[in-house]
Structure 1
Amino acid sequence: MHSRTKVALKREELALLVRDVLGSQRSVRRVDELTEGMFNAAYALELEDGASVVLKVAPPPELPLLTYERDLMRTEVEFYEHAAKEKVCPVPRVLAHDFSRTRIGRDFFFMERLRGTPLTRAKNQLTTGERARIQTELGELVGRLRTIRGRFFGYLQPDTGLQAGTWREAFLAMVAALLQDAERFAVKLPMPARDVLALFQSGAKVLERVEEPTLTHFDLWEGNVFVHRVEGAARIEAFIDGERAFWGDPLAELASTALFRDPEQETDFLRGYQAATGSPLVFTEEVRHRLNLYRAYLYLIMVLEGVPRGYSGLKAMAIRQYCRMKLRGELKLLASR
Structure 2
Amino acid sequence: MGLTAYPRSEWLPFYRQLGAITRTIHDVRGDRFGPVADPGHDTWSQELVSQFEALAADQVDAGLDPDGCRRIIELARRHRAVLDDIPGPRLLHGDLWTLNLLIDPAAAEPTITGVLDSDRACWGDPLGDVPLDRVRHLAQAEQDAFFAGYGTRASTVSTAGAELREQFYRARHVIGNQLDIQRRGLDFAEIPAIHWDLTDVLRTLEGT
User: By the TM > 0.5 criterion, same fold?
Assistant: yes
Deviation at 1:176, TM superposition (A): 1.7
Per-residue CA deviation, residues 156-215 of structure 1 (Å, 9 max, x unaligned), is 344xxx7211112111111122112222332135x5443232233233321212242222
Provide the secondary structure at the position in 1 that maps to 2:96. coil
Distance in 2, matches of 1:136 and 1:224, equals 16
Partner-residue secondary structure (3-state), 1:237: strand
- Give me the TM-score of the superposition, normalised by structure 1: 0.53
2:28 is the alignment partner of 1:153: no
Could you say which residue in structure 1 is the equivalent of 2:206?
335
Query: Are the equivalent residues in 2 in contact too, given 1:225–1:239 (CA < 8 A)?
Result: yes
Which residue does 2:178 correspond to in 1?
303
Count of aligned positions = 206
Return the alpha-carbon distance in structure 1 between the equivalents of residues 119 and 177 of structure 2: 14
Go from structure 1 to structure 2 and tell me whether the alpha carbon gap of 1:329 and 1:227 turns closer, same or farther (over 3 Å shift): farther
Aligned match of 1:283 in 158, 179, 198?
158
Could you tell me how far apart the structure 2 residues matched to 1:280 and 1:165 are? 21
Cα displacement (A) at 1:226: 2.9
Q: Partners in 2 of 1:285 and 1:197 — Cα distance?
A: 20
SS at match of 1:215: strand
Q: Is the Cα contact below 8 Å between 2:6 and 2:109 reproduced in 1?
A: no
Higher relative contact order (CA 8 A, sep 6+): 2
Unaligned runs of 5+ in 1: 1-116
SS in 2 for 1:134: helix
| 2-structure distance, mates of 1:184, 1:320 | 24
Amino acid at match of 2:196: R
Which structure's residues are more often strand, by fraction? 1
Distance across 2 between alignment mates of 1:305 and 1:229: 31
Name the residue aligned to 2:11: 131
- Aligned partners of 2:17 and 2:146 also within 8 Å: yes
Determine if the alignment matches structure 1 residue 164 to structure 2 residue 38.
no
Spell out, residue by residue over 1:50-69, the C-alpha distance to the aligned partner (whole angstroms, 9 max, x if none).
xxxxxxxxxxxxxxxxxxxx
Say if 1:273 and 1:280, in contact at 8 Å, map to a contact too: no
Q: Deviations over 1:113-162 (max 9, x none)?
A: xxxx44xxx2352341x21221122111111111222232112344xxx7
Q: How do 1:61-140 residues align onto structure 2 when only pairs under 5 Å count?
A: 117-118=1-2, 122-123=3-4, 125-128=6-9, 130-140=10-20
Q: CA deviation at 1:267?
A: 2.5
Give the structure 2 partner of residue 220 of structure 1.
96
Work out whether residues 127 and 156 of structure 2, in 8 Å CA contact, stay in contact via their aligned partners in 1.
Answer: no
Contact 1:228 1:237 in 2 (8 A): yes
Residue type of the partner of 1:220?
L
1:259 is paired with a residue of what secondary structure? helix
Report sequence identity in percent.
Answer: 23
Higher helix share: 2
1:312 aligns with 2:185: yes
In the alignment, what sits opposite 2:60?
183
